[in-house]
Structure 1
Amino acid sequence: MARAISVRLNDEAERALRSLEAAGLSRSEAIRSAVIQSARRLRRSSELAAEVSALEADDADRDEMLAVVGLMESLRAPR
C-alpha cells in the first residue's frame, strides 16, 4: 500500500528532481526511484564489503593470489 510522505528538499535535491522530471518522470516516480536506487547501492556496498572480508580471511585464496603474482613477475620482461 502506498503512503504519502512529506520531504523538504535543499537546492541541490530540488535541481536533481527537476532534472529527473525533465527526463519524463513524475515527481513521485523520481523520488521513489531515487530511494530504491539508494537502498540498492547501500546493499551492494555492504555485500561487497562482506565479500572482501571473506576473501581477506581465505588463506587458500591469498596463497593462490601470491602464486599468480609470482608467476606474473617471472614472466615480466627484464627492465
Structure 2
Amino acid sequence: QFGEADIYLVNTRVPRSYESHVNQVLAKAAKKRANVTLVDWYSRSENHTEYFAPDGIHLQPPGVRALTNSIIQAIEKNHGTKKKNK
C-alpha cells in the first residue's frame, strides 16, 4: 500500500506487559524493508522520568519535545539517503 514511501515506526516505553513484544515486532518490521526506519523512543526515554506524567504513559511537555526531536532527527538523517541507495 505504501510503495516506496519512507515509513517511520516509533517504538514504545510504557509500563505494560506488552511493551517488549511491541518493540520486538516493530524492530523486526523495520529490518525487513529499506524504506522503514525505527525511531528508538524506548532507548531515548530511558531514565527520563520527567518525560512522563505520573501514569508513566502520557507525555509531559519535555517528553513531547524529546519525542518530536527524535522523529525529526530520524527524518533529517534519512532525507534523500534511501532513494540514493536504490
TM-score, normalised on structure 1?
0.33
In terms of fraction of residues, the more helix-rich structure is 1
Select the structure with the greater relative contact order (CA < 8 A; seq sep ≥ 6): 2
Structure with larger Rg: 1
Structure that is richer in strand per residue: 2
- Give the TM-score of the pair, scaled to structure 2: 0.31
